[in-house]
């Protein structure tokens, strides 16, 4: 399994970015997939996650501003980020579970088995 993120960059506050994560090698249905972020000196934190049926969960700080979605045919996970704030500055990582999660939203980083290399988002 390989996850490759793209779409990060530098934007001004209130701007938007669309992050993409291309997933290859996932041959099973129903993995839970999510976006995490990490700021220097801080632990990696969940941003948004989507379980096998498409149910989603967001961290409170991004609720209403970010949207996680998935193109099932192309196996691409997206994170649309709107109304960005300086505190959203971080390295953003895509993650996927090796198991199937239908109806169960995974939120703990250590329950995700596959990770991308990250894409940097900087908001000024």
pLDDT higher than 90, residue 67: yes
pLDDT confidence of 13, banded at 50, 70, 90? Answer: very high
User: pLDDT at position 1, please?
Assistant: 92
Residue 97 tokens, joined: 């579970």
Phi (first) and psi of residue 26, to 5 degrees = -90, 105
- Strand-pair partners of 49: 34, 57
pLDDT higher than 90, residue 96: yes
Residue pLDDT, tens place only, 27-48: 777 889 999 999 999 999 999 9
- Strand-pair partners of 76: 22, 71
Over residues 84-106, the mean pLDDT reads 94
């Amino acid at each position: 399994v390989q996850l490759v993120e793209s779409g990060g960059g530098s934007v001004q506050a209130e701007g938007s970015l669309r992050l993409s994560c291309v997933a290859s090698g996932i041959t099973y249905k129903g993995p839970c997939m999510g976006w995490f972020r990490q700021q220097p000196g801080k632990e990696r934190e969940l941003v948004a996650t989507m379980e096998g049926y498409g149910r989603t969960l967001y961290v409170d700080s991004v609720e209403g501003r970010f949207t996680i979605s998935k193109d099932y045919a192309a196996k691409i996970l997206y994170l649309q980020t709107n109304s960005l704030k300086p505190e959203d500055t971080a390295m953003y990582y895509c993650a996927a579970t090796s198991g199937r999660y239908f109806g169960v939203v995974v939120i703990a980083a250590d329950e995700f088995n596959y990770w991308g290399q990250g894409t940097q988002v900087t908001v000024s």
